Amino acid sequence: MDKTAYIEFCRQAPPDFPVFMQHWYLDAVCAGGQWDAVVVYKREQIAGVLPFFYKKIGPFKYVTMPLLGRFMGPYLRPEWRAPMKATSLLKSLVDALPRFIAYSQDFNYSADNWLPFYWKKYRQTTRYSYVLDLNQSLETLRDNLAPDYRNQKIPKAQTLMELRETPLSPADFLRIHDLSYTRQGLKAPVSVAFLEKLDAALVARQQRLILSVCERESGAIAALAYLIWDQQRAYYLMAGEDPALRNSGAGILLAWEAIVYAKNTLQVPIFDFAGSMQPGIERVRRQFGAKQEMYLRVYR
């Protein structure tokens, strides 16, 4: 294992290296366990890395995904991803992993070759996120919205609501975000302390924004979103709305405004809804004209 080498790799990683795999992001989200990494070299340079987060049950260790850690798995530099080159490197990474009683990771988008894991008796299931190509014009993006979103829900919400960038603390964000969990009698998954730690890391690197849609007259927050980004993508990491105002269309307007912000201000090529396999949420993502993007869940 070589965490120090991994940290150095992160500091000079290629543009498509996900924010979720950055060492400082892992430091922030790997609560209740520890993270480490294995690396593989070619020509005296790190050609590939495989970070992992592990917890313990008694003396036994198991690999899992950290909360708000969307993607991990192996990452190879672009010049080493052709199958003729990649397979041996991936085999070296798998072989270097320590012993665990269980393993489950959601691989990053570039990790589409899991054959060396299969040889080691791992299994795989395909999962999907939804993404938008922001190289299209804003007019095209709007035309690709579902007709009721484009012609009814967003215009109606715009008459009642407005986008604001009022500074909100993690506690302020979760107060609104967690209302839907409260309504359903569920425990909210993210604590204030957890989000404060992650938020501090993202703010220090200017890689997050909290957007809110508020009632024009009262100023009450109807919906809000936690947007983060790296060099290639803006991720709709968390979003929530006040159940009392859920019929206003605020949540739909908010997602559209986040897309506009990612295109016009961040100028990244991809807007990533950061997944959901839940039928109701998946349908909403499709209504924005988003396309499926496959990623792998590999486990043993």
Mark whether 112 and 150 lie in a shared domain: no
Q: Which domain holds residue 10?
A: 3-121
Distances (CA, A) of 230 to 13, 21, 74: 12, 11, 18
Mark whether 101 and 140 lie in a shared domain: no
Nearest Cα neighbor of 254 from 215, 218, 293, 199 is 215
Mark whether 53 and 197 lie in a shared domain: no
Question: Does residue 299 form part of some domain?
Answer: no
Number of domains in the chain: 2
Residue 167 has a pLDDT of 84
Mark whether 92 and 178 lie in a shared domain: no
Mark whether 111 and 151 lie in a shared domain: no
Mark whether 44 and 95 lie in a shared domain: yes
Mark whether 211 and 280 lie in a shared domain: yes
What secondary structure does DSSP assign to 10-42, as a single string? HHT--TT--GGGSHHHHHHH-TTSEEEEEEEEE
Residue 264 has a pLDDT of 97
Quote the CA–CA distance of 181 and 184 in Å, as a whole number.
5
Please say which residue of 60, 88, 121 terminates a domain.
121
Site of tokens 């080159």: 85
Question: Does residue 239 form part of some domain?
Answer: yes
Mark whether 71 and 191 lie in a shared domain: no
CATH code: domain of residue 191: 3.40.630.30
Please say which residue of 65, 86, 121 terminates a domain.
121
- Three-class SS of residue 88? helix
Question: Does residue 113 form part of some domain?
Answer: yes
Mark whether 47 and 156 lie in a shared domain: no
Residue 237 has a pLDDT of 97
pLDDT, mean of each 10-residue run, the chain (300 residues): 94 96 98 97 95 96 97 97 95 97 98 97 96 97 96 94 86 93 88 98 97 91 96 96 86 96 98 82 86 96
Question: Does residue 126 form part of some domain?
Answer: no
Mark whether 163 and 244 lie in a shared domain: yes
Residue 69 has a pLDDT of 96
Q: Is the distance from CB of 255 to CB of 225 less than 8 angstroms?
A: yes
Distances (CA, A) of 293 to 26, 41, 108, 131, 149: 23, 29, 11, 7, 22
Quote the CA–CA distance of 210 and 188 in Å, as a whole number.
18
CATH code: domain of residue 67: 3.40.630
